[in-house]
């Protein structure tokens, strides 16, 4: 991946799909693409395998908000709440003729209900990433090569789930 100061580095972009109620990782993937574009549907597909069905609702940040994936969410009947820009910044005008799914998502997110539902993403999806980085101290992959890094990420997510299940059982 291209970095701002060091040119190109061998880097990876780790993805998780998190079940909302218990905050368990139900999908984990790694790419060597800096962007999250094109990763939403593969994460949903992975979660479907683990959970045995299509998720009823998906919350995702702006990195996942492309027209094709938003259309696929609609086609699958998934109630998606996908940000279309950075929080606190004025949204760019969306041409509903060129990007109808993005326009529908913008309208949905502009409602009180849309903002409320999307707001849950911060504590549902981001908390497990924080636990991985802070509580578990995992900030860097030990291996190189996409296949090995995917295996390492899967183990990290499995370890988090074991810790989480222990915490949930004790509660």
Q: What would the pLDDT profile of 50-79 be if each residue is shown by its tens digit? A: 999 999 999 999 999 999 999 999 999 999
In a domain, 111, yes or no: yes
Number of domains in the chain: 1
Question: Looking at residues 110-135, what average pLDDT do you find?
Answer: 93
3 occurs within a structural domain: no
pLDDT band, residue 171 (cuts 50/70/90): confident
The verdict on residue 43 lying in a domain is yes
Q: Is the pLDDT of residue 23 over 80?
A: yes
Specify the pTM. Answer: 0.87
Whether residue 2 is contained in a domain is answered as no
Share of the chain above pLDDT 70, in %: 94
- The pairs formed by 5-11 with CB atoms below 8 angstroms and a separation of 24 or more are 10/144
> Is the CB of residue 73 less than 8 Å from the CB of residue 45?
no
Tokens of 150: 């995917």
In a domain, 1, yes or no: no
């Amino acid at each position: 991946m291209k970095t701002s100061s060091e040119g190109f580095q061998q880097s990876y972009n780790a993805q998780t799909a998190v079940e909302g109620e218990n905050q368990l990782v139900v999908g984990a993937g790694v790419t060597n693409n800096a962007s999250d574009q094109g990763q939403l549907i593969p994460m949903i597909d992975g979660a479907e395998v683990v959970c045995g069905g299509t998720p009823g609702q998906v919350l995702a940040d702006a990195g996942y908000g492309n027209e094709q994936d938003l259309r696929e969410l609609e086609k699958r009947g998934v109630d998606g709440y996908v940000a279309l820009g950075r929080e606190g910044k004025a949204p760019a005008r969306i041409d509903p003729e060129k990007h109808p799914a993005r326009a529908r998502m913008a309208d949905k997110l502009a409602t009180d209900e849309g903002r409320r539902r999307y707001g849950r993403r911060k504590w549902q999806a981001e908390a497990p990433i924080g636990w991985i980085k802070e509580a578990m101290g995992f900030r860097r992959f030990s291996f190189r090569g996409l296949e090995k890094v995917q295996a390492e990420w899967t183990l990290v997510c499995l370890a988090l789930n074991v810790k989480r299940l222990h915490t949930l059982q004790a509660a």
